[in-house]
Structure 1
């Protein structure tokens, strides 16, 4: 009797589609190091690469039953890894941009104003603005920024187009920035009125 170690990728994929844990374990054993080193090469950070590889296989397990029957396993893993790498890089860029904006604000407004703005308060304000977004827009935004799903993954999950996802995220960012710009101006005005 054959063991899963002797299965081809296609046979493993077919077994995975029926929820076979042994097939998943064999895919994991076959591809984890390859995917880890691919992520490490792209990200340059061991912890990020490990996290990304783990997340990749978690996604494979949860979505494995929905993969098309003619899927190329290694191709699917590389494409999914690439999308997750791009999302992580974008997420880090957003963080860097956010920190740069705060730094620029600090230089313009002076230390007194910045000391008054507590990071936790700022995060609460941002979260409040996210909750004030229209329901569908908020859902798309949270899937993108909190669960780090790609536009395509969000579109599939919500049954909408990639373009709609992109537009909704863009609108959400503009709305939140607008509210934060107003808040920043008010904070500066209040600071100088003291």
Structure 2
């Protein structure tokens, strides 16, 4: 096993692709602790973090033959970890600290190793946040953002004052904006929630 520790990541990938279990063990030992630290930072739960890491490495072994030889192994594993947590955010109403700590994860990871998030995924997360707004606020916000009605048009439609409409839109943004920004999408939010 000693010689495996001297192999580069790309050499280990080549061996892994041919079904070399020692190469897999070396990758596991090389990346487990750094990945665990990052995932734990997102989930704040030891067991959940370990489950995520276990799944990432299981998939790495199962899908080894599909990995490109020149792939950045660290980037591949970091991206898998981040996507796994984002999937959790999309599928369930997750504890607030999930989202809160993703920003730290993204900012501390080399941007070159992180592929850009799919806009569809971002829209889905934002849509879930909109759906969680109080009913009246949500209705006003959707008329403003989805139907592009002015505050005056919304006020007339719902028999409210312009000021009430303006306040409700501002309040909706105050709720949604920090949540999305905490996930590390401050640029995208300028476009989607402008």
User: When the two structures are superposed, what TM-score results if normalisation uses the length of structure 2?
Assistant: 0.47
Structure ranking higher in helix proportion? 1
User: When the two structures are superposed, what TM-score results if normalisation uses the length of structure 1?
Assistant: 0.47
Relative contact order: is structure 1 or structure 2 higher (C-alpha 8 Å, sep ≥ 6)?
A: 2
